[in-house]
Amino acid sequence: MEQDHRFSLIRSLKGRLAIILTIATIIPILLTGYISYRWIYIVQTQKIEADWLDTVQRERDELERKLDELGRVSQLMDIEGGIGRDVVTFITSKDSFNRSILFRNINQSVANVNFSNPNLGVMFYYAPELAEPLLFPNASVKINFKPENLKAFFKQKLFTYYGPYESLDQGNQQELVFSLLRKLEYGNGRSIYAYIETKVVGLEALFTAAAEPDSTVDYPVYHVLTTPTGQAAFSNMADESVDIGTTFAVPEGTYQTFQAAGRQGWTLYQLIPKDAYNREMNKWLSQFILFASFSLILGIVLAWLIWRMVYRPIRIINREITRFSYNPSLTSVSATGLAEFNHILANFHQMSRRISELISDVEDKEKRRGQLEVEKLLVQINPHFLHNTLNTIQWLARLEGQTNIARLVSIFTRVLHYNLGKKNIIVTVKEEVDAVRDYIELQNIRYDHSFNVKLLVDPDCLDVPIPRFILQPLVENALYHGFDDDDKGEIEVAITREKHALYLRVTDNGKGVPEEKLLEMLEESDIQLHKSGLGIGLRYVKKMLSVYYGAEAQLMIESGAGIGTTIAIRLPDTLRGVDVLDSGPDRG
């Protein structure tokens, strides 16, 4: 069996030290890893993602503002109340002088619009029915302008948006622009078009030819712009995996994608390669695994060192215990090399000496045990003699027809038997209540008066063990100290059980007890107890509660002049550390 314990990992100190220190090492690692992972996750997955999402939303908002700006400027070029009215007049007029004035005014108006909106690019009117369809351009534009050659973005009623594409300005063709072509009808089914460009100023990062790392991040960021129908209108992805004009599908597993949709249904995507996006997380994971492995190895080494440190003192203590089992008179003190173990070993030697003394005391007491048994029998002779004598008196009274005397002796015999019982002082609540009933009946016969005493006992309490003589002194105090006029006196004894506690309450409606009298009752002396016959007093009750329950018992007294007295006791409903109940007929 010892060999099994020696090689058992869980039952040996070595194994438990190894397990505990390993756990103590792993738990901080896991907690540190979890906290740091959660922090990185929150920073990267929430904060960084929120920042990127905010970035793409800002780019979306900026693009919407530029498209809205095109719509607002087109209102200035409208036929109704705008420059377009003069353009229509210029087209339809045959008067050369009037046309020259209109030409000058229209050019000035276009220049004013361009000046008040510096982000605008090329502006002109397009009249496909005329021999020279381009009218009033603000820049050098190719003559062969065809709307169908432009990259359509989306259409909204008479508005058609194009882009992004290179500007029609021959002097600045490398700049990407968005444009609006607005149809202006001026009667008889005839119409002209207003063409307006806006530069992508403020969106350079979005429309660069190839997205490269910038000062804020060390990985590339790509953009894809799709039309309301899902076709790609622009892409700066390096691998050219997105074909302009084809339906765009978000790549799965290779990019971290953020997107924002415009009011007109188009969508702006921001794509970051996942291997670059998760680079910091992967770097942290490799460092954490290295740190965790080192900490685990260190914990195992520390467990082995601690075991080596405590093994020698434990072996010395075990050797001293083994030697003591063969020689109880051992008094030498060995050194273990550690102060704590030296203290344990010194305590063990002190305990061994004390055990030797106790063994000697037990041997002496065993020699006196026989004498004590004889003395016990001699002490019990007088109670048994008194019981037998009372039984003889009871038998003679019944024989002579004296039923009252026989009843009095019978009750007195029960009370005396209960009070003089010596085998066990622990009884049940039922036995205590029966003793109180006998005591009350004995007092009724003694004083030829029927005391009004009510016993209210919860049946659930009858088998609860309590020390003997807890109730009778309280009832006796109520009878002796509570009333001047016995005819109106009422005493109520209530016993209940609740939440593992037993409640005993004795209440009378007597004259009450002054405070100084209460103190006197609590400090009642043995001489006063003797004068009161069987009454033992509150002092005895307090002592019994202190001995058997300690601080778990509570005794409370409430009294006042003319309102009576209430004595309440709260006890645990279980008794620990006492002998079993003895309810047999031979007790005492």
In this predicted structure, what is the pLDDT of residue 3?
47
Q: Mean pLDDT in the chain?
A: 77
Contact 316, 342 (CB under 8 A): no
In this predicted structure, what is the pLDDT of residue 221?
85
pLDDT in tens, 202-259: 887 787 765 555 545 567 888 899 999 989 888 887 666 678 888 888 888 788 888 8
User: 159 Cβ partners below 8 Å, 6+ apart?
Assistant: 71, 74, 180, 181, 182
How far apart are alpha carbons 17 and 208 in whole angstroms? Answer: 63
Q: Does the structure show a pLDDT above 60 at 7? A: no
Query: Which residues of 14-94 form beta strands (DSSP E)?
Result: none
DSSP for 494-547, written as a single string: EEEEETTEEEEEEEE-SS---HHHHHHHHT--HHHHHHTTT---HHHHHHHHHH
Collapsed DSSP state (helix, strand, coil) of residue 294: helix
How far apart are alpha carbons 59 and 200 in whole angstroms? Answer: 11
Instruction: Calculate the dihedral angle through the C-alpha atoms of 38, 40, 43, 49, rounding to the nearest 10 degrees.
Output: -100
pLDDT-based confidence at 367, cuts 50/70/90?
Answer: low
Return the percentage of the chain with pLDDT > 70, whole number. 76
In this predicted structure, what is the pLDDT of residue 362?
79
Q: Does the structure show a pLDDT above 80 at 138? A: yes
Is 536 or 20 the better-scoring residue by pLDDT? Answer: 20
Please state the rounded mean pLDDT for residues 333-357. Answer: 74
Lowest mean pLDDT among 113-122, 297-306, 573-582: 573-582
In this predicted structure, what is the pLDDT of residue 218?
66
Contact 195, 184 (CB under 8 A): no
pLDDT in tens, 436-456: 888 888 787 777 677 788 899
User: 48 Cβ partners below 8 Å, 6+ apart?
Assistant: none
In this predicted structure, what is the pLDDT of residue 132?
86
Nearest to 544 by CA among 455, 473, 445: 473
In this predicted structure, what is the pLDDT of residue 322?
77
Please state the rounded mean pLDDT for residues 64-92. Answer: 88
How far apart are alpha carbons 204 and 550 in whole angstroms? Answer: 86
In this predicted structure, what is the pLDDT of residue 282?
74
In this predicted structure, what is the pLDDT of residue 584?
44
In this predicted structure, what is the pLDDT of residue 326?
65
Q: Does the structure show a pLDDT above 70 at 157? A: yes
Residue located via tokens 């051992």: 330
Tokens, residue 314: 């434990």
Contact 398, 404 (CB under 8 A): no
Q: Are strands 232-235 and 255-261 parallel, antiparallel or unpaired?
A: unpaired
In this predicted structure, what is the pLDDT of residue 180?
92
How far apart are alpha carbons 485 and 510 in whole angstroms? Answer: 9
User: Identity (one letter) of the amino acid at 520?
Assistant: E
Q: Does the structure show a pLDDT above 70 at 330? A: no
User: 505 Cβ partners below 8 Å, 6+ apart?
Assistant: 492, 493, 494, 495, 566, 567, 568, 569
Q: Does the structure show a pLDDT above 80 at 147? A: yes
Q: Does the structure show a pLDDT above 60 at 410? A: yes
Contact 301, 21 (CB under 8 A): no
Exposed/middle/buried for 348, CB within 10 Å: 0-12, 13-18, 19+? middle
Biggest distance spanned by C-alpha atoms of the chain: 165
pLDDT in tens, 251-275: 887 888 888 999 889 999 988 888 7
Lowest mean pLDDT among 142-151, 283-292, 408-417: 408-417
How far apart are alpha carbons 521 and 558 in whole angstroms? Answer: 14
Please state the rounded mean pLDDT for residues 345-363. Answer: 78
Tokens, residue 206: 């979005």
Is the Cα dihedral 184, 186, 187, 189 positive or negative? negative
Q: How many CB atoms lie within 10 A of CB 287?
A: 11
In this predicted structure, what is the pLDDT of residue 430?
92
pLDDT in tens, 537-567: 777 788 888 888 888 899 888 887 778 889 9
Is 487 or 54 the better-scoring residue by pLDDT? Answer: 54
Residue located via tokens 């006197």: 520
Is 19 or 246 the better-scoring residue by pLDDT? Answer: 246
In this predicted structure, what is the pLDDT of residue 374?
41
Lowest mean pLDDT among 185-199, 371-385, 514-528, 571-585: 371-385
In this predicted structure, what is the pLDDT of residue 588?
42
CATH class of 402-572: alpha beta
Q: Are strands 501-508 and 490-498 parallel, antiparallel or unpaired?
A: antiparallel
Buried b or exposed e, range 528-540, using 16+ CB within 10 angstroms: ebeeeeebbbbbb
Q: List beta partners, residue 495.
A: 457, 504
How far apart are alpha carbons 252 and 237 in whole angstroms? Answer: 15
Residue located via tokens 């033992």: 536
Q: Does the structure show a pLDDT above 60 at 380? A: no
Tokens, residue 129: 């029915």
For the chain, the structural domain boundaries read 2-50+278-323, 208-277, 402-572
Nearest to 158 by CA among 121, 193, 198, 196: 193
Tokens, residue 520: 């006197």
